[in-house]
């Protein structure tokens, strides 16, 4: 039997592009998209789609059985800024959806899991520059706490039950194809929309807030690459550091001005500033590069050009 994939949270920021790419690789009929509601969008209309509540074990198990699923990509989550407004629900969604797929793999109903972690696992006490793979993780956000706990459970299920779960710590992700989804790094998506539509942007972070970022194309490639790697190459079963570019709002604004000379930006930090301040400025991802051959393609200039071309 070949690979049959279930993407949970397929209509989200990452899920959308991931589903399209997986369908290109494995064939449309072999990639089942699912989300909490059926939207009228590309993902829903371009192939098999199921409505599923990621908190309902029986629903997920049913889909796994009827579609003979081998691999699950669990992309459903409440992101950093949104999670701070609804901590109990964020914890429930981010943790219990993970337990559901881990338990299905433990019962040998699925073979492989991809679960995304995040730079949010790091906290104010983590070394800021070139944050190492193994370091202090004392997250100060609900999102970060859930991701850190998830990492521990992934490693536990691998060691104790032999579950093949793979994970990467995403930095901030930038994409032209979906709108911001409630993350702290989403300013770097919004800024492009506002630059093209309004010619100005009011940034909710300070000018010099440096954060690790990545173009969505690179993130999708990394996700698929780690899932395709032979089992023995995956040496870390909590989650791999992943990096591409780090920049500040000021730097990206300057880059945008090369394309839109009259663009202006102003800064008014809100509650998200505190979240950003607790995260690293740059990430050491040398283990992902050596273990399974990760490399990024987009730098700040090529990403900015591609974003503006697509949005125009």
Cα separations (Å) of 287 from 197, 232, 284? 40, 14, 8
Any residues with CB less than 8 A from the CB of 139 and at least 6 apart, and which? 120, 121, 122, 123, 145, 147, 148, 278
Question: Around Cβ 67, how many Cβ atoms within 10 Å?
Answer: 18
Cα–Cα distance measured from residue 104 to residue 303, given in angstroms and rounded to the nearest whole number: 38
User: Are 133 and 287 within 8 A, CB to CB?
Assistant: yes
Residues 218, 190, 38: CA angle, nearest 5 degrees: 75
Q: If 0-12 CB within 10 Å is exposed, 13-18 middle and 19+ buried, where does residue 4 land?
A: buried
Task: State whether residue 186 is helix, strand or coil.
Answer: helix
pLDDT score at 183: 83
Return the closest-CA partner of residue 211 out of 236, 184, 177, 239: 184
User: Are 212 and 281 within 8 A, CB to CB?
Assistant: yes
The per-residue pLDDT for range 218-260, each reduced to its tens digit, is 999 999 999 999 999 999 999 999 999 999 999 999 999 999 9
Q: What is the pTM of this model?
A: 0.95
Cα–Cα distance measured from residue 136 to residue 164, given in angstroms and rounded to the nearest whole number: 25
The per-residue pLDDT for range 22-66, each reduced to its tens digit, is 999 999 999 999 999 998 888 999 999 999 999 999 999 999 999
Residues 50, 217, 245: CA angle, nearest 5 degrees: 135
* 219-222 own/partner pairs: CB under 8 Å, 24+ apart: 219/14, 219/170, 219/173, 220/14, 220/17, 220/18, 220/21, 221/297, 222/168, 222/288, 222/294, 222/296
Return the closest-CA partner of residue 81 out of 167, 175, 205: 205
- Is 143 an annotated catalytic residue? yes
The per-residue pLDDT for range 72-81, each reduced to its tens digit, is 999 999 888 8
Of the pLDDT bands very low, low, confident and very high (cuts 50, 70, 90), residue 193 is very high
How does 165-186 read in b/e, with b if 16+ C-beta sit within 10 Å? bbbbbbbbbbbbebebbebbbb
Of the pLDDT bands very low, low, confident and very high (cuts 50, 70, 90), residue 198 is very high
The whole-number average pLDDT for the span 13-19 is 94
Cα–Cα distance measured from residue 111 to residue 70, given in angstroms and rounded to the nearest whole number: 5
The whole-number average pLDDT for the span 261-274 is 96
The pLDDT > 90 percentage for the chain reads: 93
Any residues with CB less than 8 A from the CB of 118 and at least 6 apart, and which? 80, 143, 144, 147, 169, 170
Dihedral sign for Cα atoms in the order 14, 16, 17, 18: positive
User: Are 57 and 103 within 8 A, CB to CB?
Assistant: yes
pLDDT score at 134: 98
- Considering the candidates 73, 143, 170, 240, report the single residue annotated as catalytic: 143
């Amino acid at each position: 039997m070949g690979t049959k994939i279930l993407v949970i949270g397929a209509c989200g920021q990452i899920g959308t592009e991931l589903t399209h790419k997986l369908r290109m690789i494995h064939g449309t009929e072999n990639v089942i998209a699912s989300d909490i509601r059926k939207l009228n969008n590309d993902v829903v209309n371009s192939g098999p789609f199921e409505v599923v509540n990621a908190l309902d074990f029986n629903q997920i198990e049913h889909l796994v059985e009827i579609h003979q699923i081998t691999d699950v990509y669990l992309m459903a989550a409440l992101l950093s800024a949104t999670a701070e407004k609804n901590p109990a629900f964020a914890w429930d969604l981010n943790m219990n959806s993970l337990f559901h797929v881990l338990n299905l793999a433990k019962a040998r109903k699925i073979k492989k899991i991809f679960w995304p972690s995040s730079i949010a696992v790091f906290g104010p006490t983590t070394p800021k520059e070139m944050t190492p793979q193994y370091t202090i993780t004392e997250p100060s956000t609900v999102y970060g706490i859930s991701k850190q706990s998830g990492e521990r459970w992934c490693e536990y299920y691998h060691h104790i039950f032999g579950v093949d779960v793979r994970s990467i710590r995403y930095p901030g992700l930038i994409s032209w194809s979906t709108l911001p989804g409630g993350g702290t790094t989403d300013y770097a998506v919004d800024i492009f929309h506002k630059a093209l539509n309004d010619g100005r942007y009011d940034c909710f972070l300070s000018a010099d807030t440096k954060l690790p970022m990545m173009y969505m194309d690179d993130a999708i490639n990394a996700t698929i690459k780690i899932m395709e790697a032979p089992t023995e190459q995956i040496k870390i079963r909590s989650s791999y550091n992943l990096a591409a570019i780090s920049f500040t709002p000021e730097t990206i604004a300057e880059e945008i001005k090369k394309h839109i000379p009259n663009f202006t930006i102003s800064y008014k930090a809100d509650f998200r500033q505190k979240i950003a301040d607790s995260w690293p400025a740059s990430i050491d991802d040398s283990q992902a590069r050596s273990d399974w051959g990760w490399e990024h393609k987009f730098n700040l200039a090529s990403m900015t050009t591609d974003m503006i071309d697509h949005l125009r």
